[in-house]
Each structure stands twice: as structure tokens, then as C-alpha cells.
């Protein structure tokens, strides 16, 4: 597991993710033609009570299960 420092909506935060998940979220952002920080900000806004790292993992899982659902988060 590795910590990744990112800026989300103007504030710095660190996200602890396994490299495989970090690679997957970057690939999803690219496939969706989105900026990684914009995608992370969206996940952050919609995560509810989950911590951000968990919300990212769930987002990746939902995309693997159904890459074109109406609402992924």
C-alpha cells in the first residue's frame, strides 16, 4: 500500500491505495476522458460515510461489474 498526495477541490489530501487500485483509477479516468483529480473529487463528493480510499475501491469494483451504469457512485 502506498500513500498518494492529491489536491481535491483545493485542499491537499493523501490517499492510501494499493498500486493496483491506483493504476485502475487512473485507467478509468483516462477511459472516461476525465482528469484524475476531477474523478477523485466526484468520488469524494458522493462517498457519504465511507473513507475516500474505500470509496475509490468501490467505484472501481462497480465499474468492473457494469462499466455503463446510470450512476456509478
> What are the residue boundaries of the structural domains of the chain, listed by start?
2-65
Q: What is the pTM of this model?
A: 0.83
Handedness of CA 59, 60, 61, 65 (dihedral sign): positive
Write the CATH number of the domain with boundaries 2-65: 1.10.3990.20
Q: Where are the alpha helices (DSSP H) in 1-73?
A: 19-31, 36-46, 52-65
Among 14, 27, 24, which Cα is nearest to 53's?
14
User: Would you state the pLDDT for residue 59?
Assistant: 94
H or E stretch covering 11: strand 11-17
Q: What's the pLDDT score for residue 72?
A: 52
pLDDT lower than 70: segments of the chain: 67-73
Amino acid at each position: 500500500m502506498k500513500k498518494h498526495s492529491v489536491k481535491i477541490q483545493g485542499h491537499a489530501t493523501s490517499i492510501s491505495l494499493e498500486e493496483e487500485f491506483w493504476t485502475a483509477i487512473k485507467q478509468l479516468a483516462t477511459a472516461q476522458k476525465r482528469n484524475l483529480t476531477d474523478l477523485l473529487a466526484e468520488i469524494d463528493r458522493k462517498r457519504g460515510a465511507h473513507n475516500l480510499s474505500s470509496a475509490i475501491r468501490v467505484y472501481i469494483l462497480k465499474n468492473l461489474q457494469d462499466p455503463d451504469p446510470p450512476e456509478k457512485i
